[in-house]
Amino acid sequence: MGISMCGIAGLIDKGRDLSDNLKVLSEMSKSLVRRGPDENGIFIDRDTALIHRRLVVIDKENGKQPMICGIKKEKYVIVYNGELYNAEELRRELETKGYGFKGHSDTEVVLKAYIEYGEGCPKKLNGIFAFAVYEVNKKRLFLCRDRIGVKPLFYSEFTDGIVFASELKTLLKSGKVSPKIGEEGLYELFFLGPARTAGNGIYKNVRELLPGECAVYENGVLRRKRYFTLEAEDFTDDEQSAVERVRFLLTDAVEKQLVSDIPLCFFLSGGLDSSIIVKTASDHYRNNGLGAVNTYSVEYRDNMKYFEKSLFQPTADVEYIRLMVKNVGANHREVILDNALLADALYDSVLARDLPGYVDVDSSLLLFCKEIKKDYTVALSGECADELFGGYPWYHNKDILFEDCFPWSRSQKVRRSILRDGVLPKGEEYVRQKYLDTINATDKLSTDSELDSRMREMFSLNFYWFMQCLLERKDRCSMYSGLEVRVPFCDYRLVEYAYNMPWKIKALRGREKGIVREAFSDLLPYDIAWRKKSPYPKTHNPKYMKICSSRVKHILRKKTPLTELLDKNGVLDIIKNPDGISSPWYGQLMKAPQILAYIIELDYWMKEYDIEIV
């Protein structure tokens, strides 16, 4: 498999010769250097430029980008970021249609699939990707993002053209996008953040292609089209067939993603999802004489000293990690994060996202990936199983399940409490509308029971909101160190299957992810297969709260665009009374220290990016 760990960008500026604008194009390219430190390439056709940054992993010569192909009286140019898991099948299909291939990179397969199938090409692809193809003679630009939204693609239209890129920072370097934020952006940050509405780029006039969306820019007009959405279909499998199908799809997804010319490693938390991936990979390695798997886990200094059980975090991970390591004979390494460094890395995680984000859930992953990158360039992770298979407590608590709101952010009370009176008065209304938009767009069957109908809505909410936030975190925090993290649970075939699975099968034995547990119960140690769900670990060390409190007090002493919005007393109340927060700001674990960390990130972002509120 040709891995294309990289960043892409492009600019069309009608009537301008972009070869006179190399400084700007070079700055755009440089802004993506962390995604692709090894090579860069720029294609210019008078008023159009395509930019590519590459981390070389495979097929150095034949995988160079921008890649150009002249065929059928047209010249096609592609910049591509991603991995194609059905590249070999698609290559064979294209060879039967007369196409030849110079190398074995994914990029060439995607380009020739576009030449053959045009706008129908995305449906042929199974993978994680964002790419652009420019047809030189027709002056037509095609943009595309993978079905699940694993890879990012932002864009901004302006009077005479369009600019697009893998990251927001690159748009800001183009000279076509200013670091301005309007009322809508503020609503997103203060009332939905760290999540954001799909397609919303927060900055003024910035959008993102939706998961499963492609677009054509021609004659100054952008035409967008969804090629994948969650569609309701009858589920015809019985319980046993469903168990077998889940096992087949997930095993196949993992095995497809093990194809690589370089060594891989695996995230291992001791939870169900990462353990399935590690066990499947270990069996595959053994059967193919590839030796032991290499696994990594993350923990915080002195965390066990302060660990407290909760509904969301009932058990610590360490004993389960040991059990799994022993079971597969893995070469395992535990990365222990220091709480002061965790707080310091909040700033880098803003630079990685170009926005305030998921605070220490981001910064811990950032530090974790930095350590892994010292030895590996590609890792596999168990993300997204919970969203697809009902892993979170809000799927199982009937009071929360039927509550008419986002289950991970049920109350806006704490968000409102940190804002001055009269600031963003329609925040609650904004959130409500976003929730309703998602619910109303959910595809259902007339035969769905009340429970299955609500579960489809929950799937939609989790897929388009919670999961996107975690995928964005994974992409930015890993790529910041040039580490590619693959996510087998995001295989679209598994997503489609899970969407249509009735709840009684999905929650077999009345358990979260019951179907997945059953499908792999004979493969895993019993204690892991039936372990209660535990989220990504957070720090319980009071030192972290102390650091965040001190930094926020320092912020409150200054007069800045942020402090003009904040209610000082409301923020100080969180510092004085951290246990007074009844429901998390976001997710399961975002309580007092994380709210303070979010304020730290907001302050740093506004200052570092010179944000202007308009």
Residues identified as active-site: 6
Please state, in angstroms and as integers, the Cα–Cα distance from residue 592 to each residue in 313, 316, 362, 400, 571, following that order. 16, 21, 16, 22, 10
Contact 330, 294 (CB under 8 A): yes
Question: Tokens representing 208?
Answer: 């993102």
How far is it, in rounded angstroms, from Cα 261 to Cα 3?
Answer: 9
Residues in the chain: 614
Helices (H) and strands (E) in the chain, counts: 25, 19
Separation of alpha carbons 240 and 229, rounded Å: 27
Q: What is the spatial distance between Cα 605 and Cα 303, in angstroms, rounded to a whole number? A: 29
d(CA 363, CA 564) in angstroms, rounded, equals: 27
Residue 505 gets the label, from left (phi > 0), alpha (psi -120 to 50) or beta, of: alpha
| Integer Cα distance of 126 and 440 in angstroms | 28
CB 290 within 8 A of CB 265: no
CA separation for the pair 119, 125 (Å, rounded) = 12
Residues 502 and 484: their CA atoms lie apart, in Å, by 34
For tokens 């440089």, the residue is: 30
CA distance 43 to 135: 12
* CA separation for the pair 97, 592 (Å, rounded): 60
Alpha-helical segments (H) within 83-222 = 87-96, 106-117, 168-173, 183-187
In a 10 Å sphere around its CB, with 0-12 CB exposed, 13-18 middle and 19+ buried, how is residue 369 labelled?
buried
From first CA to last CA, the distance across the chain in angstroms is 46
Q: How far apart are CA 547 and CA 554, in angstroms?
A: 11
Instruction: For the chain, give the longest Cα–Cα distance.
Output: 71
On the question of a cis peptide bond just before residue 578, with omega within 30 degrees of 0, the verdict is no
Which amino acid makes up residue 168? L
The residue type of 581 is: I
Phi-psi region of 593 (alpha: psi -120 to 50; beta: other; left: phi over 0): alpha
| Cα–Cα distance measured from residue 386 to residue 394, given in angstroms and rounded to the nearest whole number | 11
Reduced to 3 states (helix: H, G, I; strand: E, B; else coil), residue 217 is strand
